Amino acid sequence: MTVSEARKRYLDFFAKRGHAIIPSAPVVPENDPTTLFTSSGMQPLVPYLLGQPHPAGARLANSQMSFRAEDIEEVGDNRHTTFFEMLGNWSLGDYFKKEQLPWFFEYLTSAEEGLGLDPKKLYVTVFDGDESVGMDLDTEAVEIWKKLFTEKGIPTELVRLGTEASGYEKGMQGGRIFSYGSKKNWWSRSGTPSKMPEGEIGGPDSEVFYDFGTPHDLKWGKECHVNCDCGRFVEVGNSVFMQFIKQADDSFKELPKKNVDFGGGLERLAFATTGNPDIFMIDLFDAARAVLEKHSGKSYAEATLSENGGADTRSFRIILDHMRAASFFIASGIRPSNTEQGYVLRRLIRRSIREADKLGIKDAVLAEVAEGFGAAYADAYPFVREATQVIHEELEKEEAQFRKTLAHGMRELEKMGTTIDAFMLFTTYGFPVELTEEIAKERSIMLDMQVVQAKMEEHQALSRAGAAQRFAGGLADHAEQTVRYHTAHHLLLKALQMVLGKDVHQRGSNITSERLRIDFSYGTKMTPEQKAEVEKIVNEKISEALPVTRTVMNKEEAERFGAEHEFGATYPEQVSVYSVGPKDATADDPKFSEAFSLEFCGGPHVLNTSELGHFKIQKEEASSAGIRRIKAVLE
């Protein structure tokens, strides 16, 4: 089955069961505090999972563009990618386990409505309980799964593994259902139940794995099990049941309205239908893979049979994954740089260049590889194909620049003589460590790779910690000061339009509890007088104590009122709109035609501008061609 077919069948399946199909949020989130990328389907929906009503109702489904920077080092095996689509369906206080688990099982196994997978190849995990907080095995999920498998004539045994790693060493033990502890089968934003603060919601989850039947690799342990990393079992979906809320005395109380949050990797589901345990053999990669085969003179399918097969296969996969992500990034407005999203894009491109060298490709090839993804996603994400020219230009420019970086690194390496500092070459000049190692071997220079590796692991750990902190902040940080900055952001955008012209529009933002940042379309540097005027307007609206009102309304009606919306975003028929002012506006009578600011936005915001404090622009600078950036604070 093609990826497009799997996506359409999923959305049609849940639409038939009363779900509103909502569009994908941008992969580069707007107005989401501190997070660089949308990394899951639930991330844009956190306010609604926490209780805010969704404009489209209580049953939702979509396919969400996602990117996980922490998976960059994992790419190269048969299943990991950085960019992916996450199929999702949600119940906001509506249905629960007895509907969700049978529905997903039906989507997986039905030949008429779903993927038509063999149920004998499916295995599931459930929550085993957590003694530290007095929680027991999720018997409800166990009984539902037993019934579903039994109806298919499949013998079903529960194997309780809990938190004991020694249990994994026993292998499958004839099981079909496996129960794991809270580190594997519990979800909350804070982690395991004992780490959750008072008022935090969470609950057990249930994962489904597809068995490709490939031989077990002993380097991953004596016996294989569903959570083994050998590649035989691949997780294809996870149903999270947000069921509990943490109490002040560390106990847990059932939520009056329980939610379902399901996420399933679209590409993984599609490649399960092929029976080929290699995600890079799905149709989305066909054109790009053919380009690499043409330029390298190597066959991807035959690579694993060659003497250097493992390395060649890994190089193919890294380039394919990274160029798909890079295509979406550039089409979304990101450009290579040394900070934030631009740094991640630059890293993807430079790693791809190095892997192309390993395949023996000396020509600039990345732009040609990327072209295949515009066509592959023409139906679902046409904006990628529409950006073909700029993607081509940016990749060619970055590839040429990195070739110069490599040349510079070589000059520095030559100066070092017989004492080569591989870590310094990498962190200072971006010179790949593996290339330094190869050159050292050629020159019979001793290079202590254990020391280099230790430094690299420390470097990567710091990077991952920063990314994790950033992701956690992006989901959890609805602190009062962050909410104030979010509202001030609306005032600032309107003030910029008043001072610089109505053609000014937001082209990116980043909001933390320390400051706000906005990127906006404008071709020249602002004058001191313009910045002062913008500050004056924002502070006047703060002093006027204007009400901030949220209204759920029809998208076309909001557009008629002139509501601002995110660049490149697609919206459902019913949208959430925040208006600032006028003075006498109310929730029942928002008086949009008299509002100072009107924007499509999911929130949250203060109730009145008087809560904001004094607004001050710290810095105004260029972000990229035709885009300016302002950083501002509330004092």
Q: What is the pLDDT of residues 496-540, one digit of tens each?
A: 999 999 889 888 777 877 788 898 989 899 999 999 999 999 999
pLDDT of residue 469: 41
At residue 217, the pLDDT reads 83
Alpha helices of 477-583 — where are they, by DSSP H?
Answer: 480-500, 528-543, 555-560
Q: How confident is the model at residue 383 (pLDDT cuts 50, 70, 90)?
A: very high
Whether 474 contacts 34, CB under 8 Å = yes
Condensed to tens digits (0 to 9), the pLDDT of residues 15-72 reads: 999 999 999 988 887 655 557 888 888 888 878 887 888 999 999 999 999 998 877 8
pTM exceeding the 0.85 threshold for the entire prediction: no
Task: Pick the more confident residue, 596 or 467.
Answer: 596
| CATH code matching the domain that covers 480-634, chosen among 3.40.190.80, 3.20.20.70, 3.30.980.10, 3.40.50.300 | 3.30.980.10
- As annotated, the residues of the chain forming the CATH 3.30.980.10 domain(s) are 480-634
Average pLDDT, the chain: 87
Q: Could you give the CA distance from residue 56 to residue 34 in angstroms, rounded to a whole number? A: 27
Percentages helix, strand, coil for the chain (3-state, rounded to 5) are 45, 20, 35
| Domain 3-274: assigned CATH number | 3.30.930.10
Structure tokens at 53: 């009503």
Question: For residues 355 and 367, what is the distance between their CA atoms, to the nearest angstrom?
Answer: 15
> Which pLDDT band, with edges at 50, 70 and 90, does 478 fall under?
low
Query: CA-CA distance, 520 to 150, in Å (whole number)?
Result: 58
Cα 46–Cα 48–Cα 50 angle in degrees, nearest 5: 70
**What does the pLDDT look like over 309-341, one tens digit per residue?**
578 899 999 999 999 999 999 998 888 886 778
**Start and end residues for every CATH 3.30.930.10 domain found in the chain:** 3-274
